[in-house]
Copies of this chain bind each other. A is one copy, B any other.
Amino acid sequence: MRRRVYRELFASAREDGKLTVTNRIIVALILVSVTLAIVGTERDFVRGNPGLFRWAEFTFGLAFLVEYAARFWAAAEQPGPGGPWSKRFVWARSVFALIDLAVVIAALFPFVVTGAPVLRLLRLLRLAALLRFGRFSVALRELQGAVVERRYDLFVTGALAMVLLLGGATALHWAEGSVQPDAFGSIPRSMWWSIITLTTVGYGDVSPITPLGKVLAAMVALGGIGLVAMPTGIIAAAFSDAMQRVREREASGGNDS
């Protein structure tokens, strides 16, 4: 019995990597619960039917509590040495188990305690349920490996991007600091401009107005664009490699994780 529950709940217990029926139901529950949590932040919807939202929050919280308890109980079936309780506590200390627990608490706590600011944060924490999908994904593990492999590249490009961001912020602080003290009055303030410019977002809430400031900003924009995107580019390349490896492994048949 416990073995069957274990097989149903733990995706890595299956050889073919497919999701079990129970896991499919949990995925659906998470998606609906997250959608409700998102929609629930819009007051106009909640005001219309507050009962529905309270009821749904409680039901999903209860469902996730049952799932957490079942996982805790079935964790004793995990391979490896040690008694059932030591295995259970090993599982309870894993990242995904902690996320599960946080989601359960975030969903059920509002019915025990009241107090607006804590509640608001807890409500948003329910979105963390999305992270639970990580459990089902081989791709994320591959991605993690590929990123670790290129950590040196990431560090060097990250440092270069940081120097560029700081240099741009310093230049504009020097040129426009006295004209627009609110926007460029200090380097930390100028950083907002330099980040929004070098990522090419360019809201336009802050931009140089003096000729010198415009010349410096143009030089920063021409020189720095793309270089700031390099760390992300490296992660994207690492991801592309990881995907390629997953595809090749699947093509060669075995799934020996």
Contact = CB atoms under 8 A, between A and B. Distances in A.
B41 A187 contact: yes
Interface stretch (A85-93, A97-105, A218-226): A218-226
Nearest to A120: B174
A26 to B, nearest CB: 16
Contact of A230 (B39, B197, B236): B236
A159 B186 contact: no
Interface string A139-164: 10000000000001100110101010
B42 A186 contact: yes
Interface string A211-248: 00010001001110111111011111001100100110
Nearest to A229: B226
A192 B211 CA distance: 9
A195 interface: yes
**A contact residues, range:** 35 or more
Interface stretch (A1-9, A53-61, A202-210): A202-210
Interface in A191-205: 191-192, 195-197, 199-205
A170 interface: yes
A71 to B, nearest CB: 22
Contact of A226 (B41, B156, B236): B236
A199 B200 CA distance: 7
Interface of A: 37-39, 41-43, 120-121, 124, 127, 130-131, 133, 137, 139, 152-153, 156-157, 159, 161, 163, 166-167, 170, 173-174, 177, 185-189, 191-192, 195-197, 199-205, 207, 214, 218, 221-223, 225-230, 232-236, 239-240, 243, 246-247
13 contacts: A37-B187, A39-B188, A124-B173, A137-B156, A139-B152, A139-B156, A196-B202, A200-B200, A201-B225, A226-B229, A227-B232, A227-B236, A230-B239
